[in-house]
């Protein structure tokens, strides 16, 4: 994956944090597709995802003076999106009642057996992840779900790269034990 957009986004954020209002448009164009993808994976609702993206950019705008000059913008923006997601889902749970689940994503053209197998595997993996410490869950989500590098994940979590790698290793080992080695080997190839 080409990462030049991340560098350009960080440079635009540096200019925006220093007061260049023109840099916001460039920052938005570079960050919005990535952030929208992250949000859509969590919401499965296009209208809600658009609202959450706007909330995230509003928070970026308000907090821009707190952005550390020279830092990478993606971990910082990711932390803001996680906050927006958490705030939104807290409100959704209150309005829906704690027992309702979000709607399932629509089926694809893949064979029904494959879909059922994938959903079972995903549910098993989610159940295992839910029983793991929050720090390990966060590292796993940042790297495997959201596509951040271990460096970016460490920045977003406020920890070292070694700590992120250790957390991911522990999750892989537990998943290897409970779900099987083949599945975990596929995870290893993705990292």
Task: Please state the domain extents for the chain.
Answer: 1-98, 110-191
Q: Look over the chain and give the mean of its residue pLDDT values, rounded to a whole number.
A: 79
State the CB neighbour count (10 A cutoff) for residue 38.
Answer: 24
Concatenating the DSSP letter of every residue in 117-145 gives HHHHHHHHHHHHHHTS-HHHHHHHIIIII
Which residue blocks in the chain are alpha helix, DSSP H?
4-17, 23-43, 46-63, 73-96, 112-130, 134-140, 150-157, 161-179, 181-190
Q: What is the pLDDT of residue 100?
A: 45
All residue ranges of the chain with pLDDT < 70 are: 1-2, 91-118, 181-191
Query: What CATH architecture applies to the domain 1-98?
Result: Orthogonal Bundle (1.10)
State residue 30's pLDDT score: 95
Instruction: Please state, in angstroms and rounded to a whole number, the distance separating the CA atoms of residues 156 and 167.
Output: 14
The DSSP code for 48 is H
CATH 3.30.70.260 is right for the domain spanning 110-191: no
Asked if 77 and 123 count as a contact pair (C-beta separation under 8 A), the reply is no
Q: Cβ distance 12 to 27 under 8 Å?
A: yes
Instruction: Please give the model's pTM, rounded to 2 decimal places.
Output: 0.56
């Amino acid at each position: 994956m080409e990462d030049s957009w991340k560098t350009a986004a960080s440079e635009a954020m540096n200019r925006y944090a220093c007061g260049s209002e023109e840099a916001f448009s460039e920052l938005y164009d570079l960050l919005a597709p990535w952030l929208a993808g992250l949000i859509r994976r969590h919401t499965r609702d296009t209208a809600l995802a658009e609202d959450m993206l706007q909330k995230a950019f509003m928070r970026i705008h308000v907090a821009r003076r707190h952005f550390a000059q020279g830092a990478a913008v993606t971990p910082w923006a990711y932390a803001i999106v996680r906050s927006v997601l958490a705030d939104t889902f807290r409100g959704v749970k209150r309005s829906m009642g704690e027992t309702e689940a979000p709607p399932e994503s629509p089926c694809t053209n893949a064979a029904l057996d494959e879909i059922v197998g994938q959903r079972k595997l995903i549910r098993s993996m989610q159940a295992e992840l839910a029983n793991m410490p929050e720090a390990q869950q966060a590292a796993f989500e940042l790297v495997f779900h959201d596509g951040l590098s271990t460096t970016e994940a460490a920045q977003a979590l406020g920890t070292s790269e070694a700590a992120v790698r250790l957390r991911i290793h522990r999750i892989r080992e537990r998943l290897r034990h409970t779900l099987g080695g083949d599945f975990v080997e596929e995870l290893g190839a993705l990292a």
